[in-house]
Amino acid sequence: MTGSDGDPRVVELRTAVSRLRRELAAHPAEFTDRAIAEDELAALAAMVTRGVVEVPRLRRSLLLIAGAIGSVSALSRGVSEVRRAVELFGEPPRD
């Protein structure tokens, strides 16, 4: 677990999540897994608002978001920005 509002990784993640949430809200097309993406983005936004980032949860949310909206090309840049922000928290531990 990591945190702090002053942590540049948290700031970057907050910015990327906020941007993708706005892009998704403005996207006119409905698609099957839109609600999943919206829920996971809301969970990430809540996490960064608290300033406590749980890296395993962060990675799980990223996978769900990418799976839910990865095929919507208009949102691919936003998904990539969230992915890059998640990667700032490092590689997952190897078993």
Q: pLDDT tens across 39-92, in order?
A: 999 999 999 998 888 999 999 999 999 999 978 899 999 999 999 999 999 876
Residue 35's pLDDT is: 94
Q: Who's near 46: CB < 8 A, 6+ residues apart?
A: none
Count of all residues that appear for the chain in the document: 95
Confidence class of residue 93 from pLDDT cuts 50, 70 and 90? low
Whether the predicted pLDDT of 16 surpasses 60:
yes
Residue reference for tokens 């999540």: 17
Q: How far apart, in whole angstroms, are the C-alpha atoms of residue 54 and residue 35?
A: 22
Secondary structure of the chain: what % helix, strand, coil (to 5)?
70, 5, 25
Which element (helix H / strand E) includes 2?
Answer: strand 2-3
